[in-house]
Amino acid sequence: MAVYNQSRSNTIRLIVIITFVVIALQLFYLQIVDRRYEQLAMDNAVYPKVIYPERGIIYDRNGKAILNNTIIFDLMVTPAETKGIDTLDFCRLMNMETSEFRKRMVDAILKNTSVRPSVFKAMLTKELQARFEENSWRFPGFNLVERPLRTYPYHAAAHILGYIREADKRDIERSNNFYRQGDYIGKTGLEAYYESVLMGQRGVQYMIKDNKNRLVGTYEGGEYDTAAVAGRSLRTHIDIELQQLAEALMNNKVGGLVAIDPKTGGILSMVSGPNYDPNDLSGPDGSKNFSRMQLDVSGPMLNRAIAGRYEPGSTYKPLGALIALNEKVVSASYGYPCGGRYTLCGHGKPECTHAGGGHAANVRLAIANSCNAYFAHIYRLTVDNPRYKNVYDGYLHWREYMNAFGLGVRLGVDLPNENTGGIPDTVVYNRENAGRWTSCTNLTLGIGQDKMQTTPLQMANAMCVIANKGYYYTPHFVKGIEGEGDDDEVLLNRFQQKHDVLTNIPDIVFNEVIEGMSDVVKVGTARGAQIEGVEVCAKTGTAENYTILDRRRIKLPDNSMFVCFAPKENPKIAIAVFVQNAGFGATWAAPIARMMMEKYLLDTLTAKSKIDSARIASTNLMPSYFKRLQYKEDSIRAFKWFQVTKDSMYIDRFSLQEPARGPRSPFRKTPTEPELPNWVKILSATSLPERGIEKLKTFSA
């Protein structure tokens, strides 16, 4: 073999060089030209872990935390690491069926693969947590992970505080994707209204993950991390002990109660019945309770204190008197010869509980005796005032007064979903009466009926106006925000603003009405609201109401209402109590208000009140038709469920029970005997708040 092929060595050199150049070019392209790979690598290996800030706390007027944060544990599982554990033992420990165990394992693997941890059981009860912790060494692959939880040491103020839940699609859209899947967001109440204050600022921690998405460390030693900023706390006007009492008194009743400090507009207490324990929505059974309550026809989630529309009935009468006196259609000494009914409109209505005896000889007496005829008449005089060209004009003028009292308008309380109530426009009457109507048409507006609708909050606020003789502050809960800044002023400034709505009414006129309201308690319909040493001004109210059930109009028991403020001089509290389908205003609403005032003004209940409160708290005034309504709703839902799924399970359950009795629905918790009603605890132990705190301590320890 000679070396005559030497030239080929150059060919080989060329082949080698060309190959290397091609490789170098591709490397140049990958590493320098195409920058996509950098991002892809980041997506691969860096996981921005969101650090959730602690939400702000809400304090009552005395600085007690009525809402707090604690930590609850989720049981996490990494299926790949659980090999060789004693499943049966585990199930026995965690009170679980083995089939359930298997199902959850499969779910976990499907959701997050077997090498990544997923939630095995969310929010362990304290007992299960303790049991697991003792035995955790036996179950590799299982571990506990903290999650923040709202707790309510006083078990009260559910409707005021609202609740937080994971942000849903709509929340995320509305926030321009500020919120993300898994974030908690205030849904109602103060939690929703002050969301921006309470939520704080999310932090981000950049973590490195490996090829199986396991987090293995921090990225660049945390150089790009941002810390979470804790949410700020709220100081409110709420008096938590008063609130607890109010909730106990409203136990098993439908209606609303609002207590306001007239001098500031600060809401001391607000209850909506039926009520619930806020802890029910945040604990391990949160979602279960949530769906149960949502399907409950009695509407425990509805805040009737701001969204319930009620005819004010006789509680309107002080306002009617004020308007008539100020419009000078009557004088304070004006009397009406009531003979038990109002006859001037020809139909003898409205009727009056009193007849003769000069029970409506002047304004004071008419208020004290709550004479229907008298107030119907002065309403007519007001709207038929010859100063205005006709009844329509007069009516609109009257309506302006109403709006000035805060009726028929949204007051602007710091809770979402406030209702405007309803003081109809002339348009409504025009439409219904073909444009031809007189003061007789809506005569009963004069006694707070017809189309007049108010919320308990509005009536409490109207009492503030009378107590203050003409002005009010927008009712509100929040007194101050921790670390208040300029942004917060926007939120709170409007609560500092005094609304001089009716200061044009002279004090003499106010005094006349206030005297009348004082007489109501002293000698009139609300003698049961007397408090020794405190001069209470009040007005009772009783309104008829009807509902349509099974295509029949049935008459329900009257709504019991009571509005008041006290003391007469320098008022400190104004209250409106509405109890649906309870009876006379003096029977239920008045004593409730009285005890509230006693508690707030005297800081304790009298011996008589203690007995009364126990009686009231234990009385169930839930309308009986709810049972039937619930049964209907549930059975319709069961049928629809059947239509969709062809699963007759729910229907079967229905056909096994007696329809007439039956509020036992598959969606509701079977009503069991409550172990100890809330009110008993409250009334038997004044130190309950402390106990609540203690409970919390042991819980977080």
Partner 1 sequence: MRNNAAISKGIDWSLVWIYLALVLIGLSAIFAATYQEGDPVLQSFIAFKTDYSKQFYFWGFALVVGFFILLTDSKFFPTTANFWYAVGIILLLLVFPFHSSIKGTESIIRIGAFNFQPAEFCKIFVALALAKYFSHPETNFNRPGSQFTAALFVLIPGGLAILQRETGLALVYFSFFLMMYREGLPSIIPTIGFAFAILIIASILIPPNILAVLLSVIAILLIYFSRRQIRRRRQILTSILFIWAIAVGIQRFAVPFIFEKVLQKHQVERIYNLFGKDNPYDPQQKALSEDASRKKKESGSSYNVRQSKIAIGSGGFFGKGIFSATQTRYDFVPEQRTDFIFCTVGEGFGFLGSMLLLGLYLALLMKMINLAERQRSTYSRVYAYGVLSVFFFHIAVNIAMTIGLAPVIGIPLPFISYGGTSLLTFTVLLAILVRLDADRQMVLR
Residues that bind partner 1 (CB under 8 A): 1, 3-6, 8-9, 11-13, 15-17, 19-20, 22-24, 26-28, 30-32, 34, 36-38, 40-42, 44-46, 208-212, 216-217, 219-220
Min dist CB 11 to partner 1, Å, is 8
C-beta closer to partner 1: residue 16 or 611: 16
Q: Report the residue number, 211 or 687, with the smaller CB distance to partner 1.
A: 211
H/E stretch holding 217 reads strand 215-218
Identity of the residue, 220 or 694, whose beta carbon is nearer to partner 1 in the bound complex: 220
Select 12 or 660, whichever has its Cβ closest to partner 1.
12
Find the shortest distance in angstroms from Cβ 488 to partner 1. 42
| Shortest distance, position 220 Cβ to partner 1, whole Å | 7
Q: What DSSP element (H or E) covers 634?
A: helix 625-645
Q: Which positions ≥6 away from 67 have C-beta within 8 Å?
A: 57, 58, 150, 151, 152, 157, 161, 278
Residue 60 CB, nearest distance to partner 1 (Å)?
Answer: 50
Instruction: Judge whether 49 and 208 are in contact, CB under 8 Å.
Output: no
Beta carbons within 10 angstroms of residue 527's beta carbon: 12
SS3 37: helix
Q: Which is nearer to partner 1, 21 or 554 (CB)?
A: 21
Query: Residue 35 CB, nearest distance to partner 1 (Å)?
Result: 8
Closer to partner 1 by Cβ: residue 4 or 546:
4
Minimum separation from the CB atom of position 492 to partner 1 (A): 48
Q: Amino acid letter at 362?
A: N
Nearer to partner 1 (CB atom), residue 30 or residue 636? 30
CB atoms under 10 Å from CB of 686, counted, come to 12
**Cβ closest to partner 1, residue 24 vs residue 636:** 24
* Residue 146, strand partner residues: 73
Question: What is the Cα–Cα distance from 465 to 407, expressed in whole angstroms?
Answer: 12
412: left (phi over 0), alpha (psi -120 to 50) or beta: left
Could you tell me the smallest distance in angstroms from the CB atom of residue 211 to partner 1?
4
What does the DSSP assignment read for 165-197?
Answer: EE--HHHHHHTTT-S-TT-EEE-SHHHHHTHHH
Residue 79 Cβ vs partner 1, minimum distance, rounded to whole Å: 19
Q: How many CA atoms lie within 13 A of 500 on its CB side?
A: 4
Least separation, in Å, of the C-beta of 180 and partner 1? 24
Q: Of the two residues 212 and 387, which places its CB atom closer to partner 1 in the complex?
A: 212
* Burial of 461 from C-beta contacts in 10 A (0-12 / 13-18 / 19+): buried
**CB burial string 445-455: b at 16+ within 10 A, e below:** bbbbbbebbbb
Rounded distance, CA 39 to CA 51, Å?
A: 23
